Structure formats: structure tokens, C-alpha cells
Structure 1
């Protein structure tokens, strides 16, 4: 099945007219259609053109998907693609510096992956499907695994890159790590055939003070989890520690701390939330709406003013281009 650019443009302005939107012809730079997966990528010349294709509330792109009878349509602005390429080049420079001092095949595999991503920035899925690397006998990395899509994505990539990872889940109890996250963790590690370890930690003081409205819990909770996983990594003498952070792109996506090389894989790959959700879903991991942590949801109920700190987190990811404005709006509306 082939789609011509001029036909898609005509269909978009027809849909806009049908639903009462202003008649505007979008400037589309390119259209890429994955026939096997029935996924279309529309690349617009700029963000305002992207808004025209998406439409208010996503109506235009939603109706376009229905009319074309395909599974999914993603819309990207060309300047955003250029920015992602630039971030990946910064990452590559830092990664090559580390490779010069550290002999590691998994790091070389990551370097090759990033070079392939630069050649085909819009199709991470196909690049990963073509990867076939040997896994060492020894464990090369610890991956902090919460059961959410970001950390799940990180474990998947670590496995595909030949790190032979151990997945570590810090468990402060069901109020922070609910049963459905534990089920996701166990499902994923089983599918990937990855060793998995739970580490029990005491966060009673954080939980108590949060429920009394003393502070927003996320920052303090994250610090405890990071320190716990870092200590476990040092104790086991494993050289790499991998997290699912999205914001620390470029040179900050791989750093050396206390002789441990810390890698934030989604940030390193300059992955979008859409790419992360797509790859995680292939292994049965799906993003739930809003915040999955029962503690933060309870804090929101008891102290509505705390919601602003959660919303700031959403806005940070939106400014970084990780979240689409529509996704961000949905998360904010669920928060308030």
C-alpha cells in the first residue's frame, strides 16, 4: 500500500473542513509508511504545521487514521528530529571517550546502535529488530526496574545490547510499588530470561511525612532508590548501572560515579515516549494513565497543592520533547 503526499494533504484539509476547523493546507516534508506494522509517520516542516495535522484534541489525525484504515499515525516536526540527532551526536562523543578507557563490547554495541539511529532516526523499532549480539557469561549491568514503561524499555535495550543484565526492583511496600507493577516486573524478566532481585527498603519516614503533607515524596523516594541500587551494584562488583531517565540527554546520559558507569538508556537514545511505549508493549508492558504510585495519588487527594509539583514534572518532559503536548495535557487533567 502506498500513500502519496498530496493525497494525504488533501485528506487532512477535508477532515479539518468536516469537523469545523479552519481551512489550512499543512506543509508536510515527508511521509513514511511501515506497511508491515501499518504505522505511518508524517514529518512536518515545523511545529505549527504539526499542530495543523494533529488538530485540536487530536481529532484530525484520529480521523485520518480511520479514513486510511491503518493502525497508527505519528506526527513529527522536522526541527525536533534535528534536535534529537544533535543530542545523539553529543552522546556519541561522550561514549567514544569512555570506550577509549573502558574495554566493553556492550558499550561498542551501544555505539553502533547510536550510529544506526542517526542513519534512521525515525525507526528505532526496525533497528532493534535487526540486532543480534552475543551475551557474555558474566553480568555486565544492573538495571533499576520499577515495572513502568521507561525502566522496562531500559531493561529490554540492555538485554538486546548484550549486557546480560540483572534487574533490581527496590520494594518499599505496596503503597509505592503496587502489585500490578510487581506483576509487570516479573512478566518482563521472565520473557527476557533475566535474573531478577527484589531489595526491601524502609521508607516509613518518607511515607509518613508525605501523608502528613510535609513534602512531595517523589524526589526523596527516587534518591533512596538510586542509592540502594548503586550500593547493590558496587557490592556485586558490576561495572554498569542503568536507569530509565529520559531528561539527561547528550553527555549527561552516561557518567562515571564512584567507579560505576551510570547509563540513562532512554536519554542516551533520545527516545520519545511513543517509541518507549511501542517497544515496551511488544513485551506486554503498557503505560497506565496518570501516576501509578498509590502514595502520590493519596498525597494529591489529601493535599491538592502538591499536584503542582507533579505537573511541573510533566512540563519538564514536555519542554524536552519527550511528551507530546496532547499526552501532557491528558496527564495533567488526570492529575487535577
Structure 2
């Protein structure tokens, strides 16, 4: 099926479900038989929105009409940006791989991402495990239990980086029981060594609950310090974080002879791609935004919500979050007002 034929079918679908008749522009159509997956590349984001339809109804009906497993829609503009970010990451990797030999394990998958910049499932498949021999543990993964860090652990394991996972434990107000269980289940299923790092979080918790500051920045800094101290004591020279924003050159950083790899950012990943990639491991994205402490701060101090919303908007501007995903997260923050 070529782009013109598919455009006509999409217009038919829009008419069937009562959407306005609009011109449908498609730059490229790619069908992956192995995955039973259709990729539709639209010229720009406005064209992408027409193909997806309100609430995803058009693309959902299209999948049913064509009888295929899944349909993904991307804009050519977004794919160009993603490729450029991966190019910058490869340049940075080339600068550092002489000092950190294990970076060679990331070069081939990065080039694969450059060639076909849609979907990250290939990073969470066991067949990607490298035959290269590296010392064990090859890298530490900061595992919070969320989608981003879970992806980082799964990908680093399957790429042959021989990871060990560390989870900062400030208490149940930040690390609730269901997240802790998810961490335990994932590390057990992979068979990787995992440790919790106990932290004194009482001062940040008290001040946040008194409305003195938004807790996320201080919490992240404290957790990062604890992880870095731990890996220094373990003699590990590489740490992997689930950061999504520091793409390109910023995805690989060296401080005090320790290599920091922001793995999702290295591959210019979107949140949607990460969720899809880890779904086969039973990893599920949280329904709301942030931890129980942040939820309580939002409930008590409405003005604090703006800082959380700013973070969501920052990820949306970077293309990490789709506008619809961002809207759901913002509503989860603002919706807490109903419990006041």
C-alpha cells in the first residue's frame, strides 16, 4: 500500500466516525512484517494530528480496518530532530570510548536507532546481549522503579553491560510499597544484584510538608549524591540514570573519572517509546505524577503545583511527552484539588 492509497483510507475512516473531512498528507509508509507494525510518517505535527484523530480514534479504527497488530504515527520533523540528537550522541561516544571501552556496546544500537528512529523494543530483547567480555559489574543503574529507570536497567542488561542496581530508599512517603515490590520483581526477573540505600530524608520531608519548598529538586540531588557515593565505594566507573532531557552531547558526561550515561536521553527516547519497550517485563507507568510526598505537597499548597507543571511542560517542549500525555499528567496534579 502506498501513501496515496493509505491517505484515502484514513479520510474514509474520519468520515465513518464523524470527523471533519481534511486533506491527509503522508510522507512515508513503512510496514514491519516481523512486528506486524505499520509506521506512518506525516510531514509535520499538524498532519500527524489529522491521522491520529481526536482521542486516537482515527488511528485505532485504521488498525482494525487494516487488520494489523499496531499502527504508529510520527512526524518527519520529530524524526529529523531525533536523528540529529542521536548523531550528537554518537559524536560524544566516539570522543569517550577510548577511555571507557564498554561504550562500544552502545555504538551499534545507537547506529540502529539512527537508521530507524522509531521504537526501542530492540533494546529490551535478550538477543541484544553482547558477546564482548567486560568486568562485572560493568555499570551501576540508579533504579527508582519508574518507567525510565526500569528501561535503563533492562536495556543495559540486554546490551551486556552487566549492571548492578541501586535504589535510594528515603522511606514510604517517597518509595511506596507497590513501587518497592515492582523494583524487587524486576531485579529478580533479570537476576541482577540489587541493593537499597537507606537515606535520612526527614529534613526535606518536614520542610516540604511545611510548604517551605518544592521537594523534587532537593530530593533528586540527595538521591544522586547517595548513588554516586555508593558506586565510588564499590569501585564502579560507570553509572546509568533514566534522564530523558539531556540529549546529544549531554547524554554522556564524565565527572571525577566516573562516566554518567543518561540512557533514555542517549537514544533520544520519548516517554511513549519507553512505556512500550518495558511493557513485556510487566513494568507499568504510574497513574499520576510524582511520589506520595509530592501529592501531599500539591494538596496542601496549590501554588507548588506550578513547579511540577513546569517540569511537565519542559518535557513536552523537548518532545519527550506528547501533548495528550502532558495534559493527563497536569490534570492528575490539578485534580487533587477535588480532595481538599
TM-score normalized with structure 1 length: 0.93
1:117–1:127 contact (8 Å) kept in structure 2: no
Greater alpha carbon shift after TM alignment, 242-251 vs 305-314? 305-314
Query: 2 CA distance for matches of 1:132 and 1:143?
Result: 17
Aligned to 1:43: 41
Residue of structure 1 aligned with 2:239, choices 237, 241, 266: 241
| 1:112 maps onto 2:108 in alignment | yes
What CA distance in whole angstroms lies between the structure 2 residues aligned with 1:60 and 1:306? Answer: 37
2:161 to 160, 163, 166: 163
Pairing partner for 2:148 from 141, 147, 150: 150
User: Is the Cα contact below 8 Å between 1:175 and 1:294 reproduced in 2?
Assistant: yes
Query: For the Cα contact (< 8 Å) 2:143–2:149, is it kept in 1?
Result: yes
SS of 2:231's equivalent in the other structure is helix
Compute the displacement of 1:58 (Å).
Answer: 2.4
Query: Matches of 2:328 and 2:105 in 1, distance apart?
Result: 36
Instruction: Provide the aligned length of Structure 1 versus Structure 2.
Output: 332
Answer whether contact 2:40 2:74 (CA < 8 A) is retained: yes
Equivalent residue number for residue 287 of structure 2: 289
1:272 to 270, 273, 281: 270
Cα distance in structure 2, aligned partners of 1:112 and 1:175:
40
Change in Cα spacing, 1:211 to 1:70, as seen in structure 2 (3 Å) is: farther
SS of residue matched to 2:265:
helix
* Cα distance in 1 for residues equivalent to 2:63 and 2:331: 25
Paired residue secondary structure (1:40): strand
**Equivalent in 127, 131, 135 of residue 128 of structure 2:** 131
Distance 1:283 1:137 in 2: 26
What residue is the counterpart of 2:302 in the other structure?
304
Whole-Å separation in 2 of the counterparts to 1:251 and 1:103: 16
Is this contact kept in 1: 2:42–2:74, CA < 8 A? yes
Q: CA deviation at 1:34?
A: 3.3
Provide structure 2 residue ranges, at least 5 long, that are not aligned to the other structure.
Answer: 335-340
Matched residues in 2 for 1:34 and 1:181: separation? 35
- Distance across 1 between alignment mates of 2:78 and 2:201: 40
Residue 202 of structure 1 is matched in structure 2 by 200
Output the CA distance in 2 between the equivalents of 1:213 and 1:222: 18
1:222 aligns to what SS in structure 2?
helix
The Cα of 1:223 is off from its aligned counterpart by 0.4
Over the residues paired in the alignment, what is the CA RMSD in angstroms? 1.7
| Secondary structure at 1:76 match in 2 | strand
**258-267 vs 3-12, which deviates more?**
3-12
Take 1:288 and 1:36, find their aligned partners in 2: how far apart are those partners?
30
Partner of 1:80: 78
Displacement of 1:103: 4.5
CA deviation vs aligned residue, 1:82-105 (integer Å, no higher than 9, x gap) = 1111111111111111112x151x
Q: 1:69 to 1:75 in 2, by over 3 A?
A: same
Cα distance in 1 between the residues matched to 2:76 and 2:232: 42
CA distance in 1, matches of 2:37, 2:329: 24
Q: Which runs of 5+ in 1 are unaligned?
A: none
| Contact persistence 2:4–2:26 (CA under 8 A) | no
Tell me the residue number matched to 2:337. none
